[in-house]
Amino acid sequence: MSSPYTPVFAAGDWRCVSGQIGLTTEGLAEDFGGQLDDVLANLDKLLGEHGLRRDQVAKTTVFLTDMGDYAELNERYVAFFGEHRPARSAIAVAALPLDALVEVEAWVYVGE
Q: Which amino acid is at 90?
A: A
Q: Which amino acid is at 6?
A: T
Mean pLDDT, residues 50-73:
98
- CB under 8 Å to 60, separation ≥6 — which residues? 86, 87, 88, 89, 104, 105, 106, 107
User: 1-42: per-residue pLDDT in tens?
Assistant: 677 889 999 999 999 999 999 999 999 999 999 999 999 999
- Provide the pLDDT for residue 36: 98
* Beta carbons within 10 angstroms of residue 81's beta carbon: 16
CATH superfamily of 8-109: RutC-like (3.30.1330.40)
For the chain, the domains span 8-109
